Amino acid sequence: MNGKKIIALIALIIIIDQAIKFYIKLNYFIGEEHLMLGTWARLHFVENEGMAWGLKFGGDFGKIALTLFRLLAVIWGAFLIRGFIAKKYHNGFIICAALIFAGAVGNLIDSLFYGMIFEQSVSYTTQVAVFMPKAGGYAPFLHGKVVDMFYFPIIQNGHFPSWFPIWGGEEFEFFRPVFNFADASISVGVITLFIFQNKFFGKENDENLEKEQIEAPVSNPE
């Protein structure tokens, strides 16, 4: 897989992710919701202060630690992808790795800079955030919140059977989490890797690598 194509794919995903987030941040208030497809596909603006599913730990220190961890993971991921390309890993595997990496970068940008460049979004009001406010952003470097907007409550007001362990009889909703384009990119990469792992790492791929090495031209020293 050509390195330039992978860079272009990563850049495209990041640009789309950030464009959607900028639009939502500058046009929606927290909690604002609009239907896309019926009632089961919606745009619903929330901000995530912590990890996936909105989990948080350690207060202010935990936020900084999480952002720094994301930064180190992205730097490490860049070297990994470079190695995958150099070693001619399966194209599908490299694309999946690029999807995961691009999604991680997209969310990292929010955590690093959004607190500095945006005004605080307010819940359930007509006031929306401003880009580069004169009074400064809502949080310092490393303290930005991740913007989420895609919400797919396909099953609503459902109930677990009474015999179901722990949650028997309780109400449930599927799919409850609100996510963004970067999250979707990561999920597609991970799920595709899981489904096609035998193809990416199987005997057929090893044979193709050996064939490429055999057919590669060898320079004869004179």
Residue numbers annotated as active site? 148, 183
CA 116, CA 131: separation in Å to the nearest integer?
9
Residue carrying the six token digits 């359930």: 124
CA 80, CA 28: separation in Å to the nearest integer?
37
Q: For residues 56, 59, 60 and 63, what is the CA-based torsion angle, rounded to 10 degrees?
A: -20
Q: Which residues pair with 48 in a beta bridge?
A: 146
Please list, in sequence order, all residues whose beta carbon lies within 8 angstroms of the beta carbon of residue 165, skipping any fewer than 6 positions away: none
Is residue 145 within 8 Å of 129, Cβ to Cβ?
no
Query: Which one-letter DSSP state was computed for residue 119?
Result: P
